[in-house]
Amino acid sequence: MVPLNFYLILSAIIFAIGVVGVLIRRNLIVVLMSIELMLNAVNLTFIAFARHLGSMAGQVAVFFVMAVAAAEAVIGLAIIISVFRQTRTLDPQNMQLLKW
């Protein structure tokens, strides 16, 4: 059986890659995709722990995280569509409306 640490390290790497994506990409859709990547890294951690501790709570938690991620992706994309209609761009740098 693969030791737990391997899975945790893998999740940490994926999470860090997701953070890089959120910070450096200037396209809102790719930012949203990086957030999904981070959520999946967390899911992986949950499942790994669920298996190693023999508890189903981890898998149930992943179930709910998936539902919440679906809801968040839907709302996020709807927001992106409305913002695009207003500003015709997907670059978050151009949407700093609080600063004139």
23 binds other proteins (CB under 8 A): yes
Per-state percent for the chain, helix, strand, coil, to nearest 5: 80, 0, 20
Of 93, 72, 98, 83, the residue nearest 25 (C-alpha): 93
For residues 45 and 79, the answer to whether their CB atoms sit within 8 Å is no
60 binds other proteins (CB under 8 A): yes
91 binds other proteins (CB under 8 A): yes
Nearest distance from C-beta of residue 49 to other proteins, angstroms: 10
Task: CB nearer to other proteins: give 68 or 98.
Answer: 68
Query: Which one among 64, 96, 97, 98 touches other proteins, defined by CB under 8 A?
Result: 64
